[in-house]
């Protein structure tokens, strides 16, 4: 389950990052719809939340969930792909 989730997360992040770069550097007449970009980022975040909700079965402790998400992002070096 974890490798499939990691592949899905990295693929969705790649698509969202490509759209964001196109949004920043394209001419104003060909800029993509910002709602599509934000929808991809929301789907990316929902995939992470579903993965950790199923893994940890946490309903009330959202702080622990956010710590787990941050450790997941650090573990798979997603910070590097965010900023570069």
Q: What is the pLDDT of residues 32-83, one digit of tens each?
A: 566 666 666 677 777 777 776 666 655 555 556 566 777 776 676 655 555 4
CB 39 within 8 A of CB 45: no
Cβ neighbours of residue 24 closer than 8 Å, sequence gap 6 or more:
none
* The two structure tokens encoding residue 53: 């909700």
């Amino acid at each position: 389950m974890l490798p499939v989730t990691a592949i899905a997360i990295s693929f969705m992040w790649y698509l969202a990052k490509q759209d964001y770069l196109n949004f920043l550097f394209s001419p104003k007449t060909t800029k993509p719809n910002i709602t599509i970009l934000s929808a991809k980022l929301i789907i990316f975040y929902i995939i992470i939340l579903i993965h950790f909700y199923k893994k940890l079965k946490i309903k009330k402790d959202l702080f622990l969930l956010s710590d787990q998400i941050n450790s997941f992002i650090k573990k798979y070096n997603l910070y590097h792909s965010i900023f570069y």
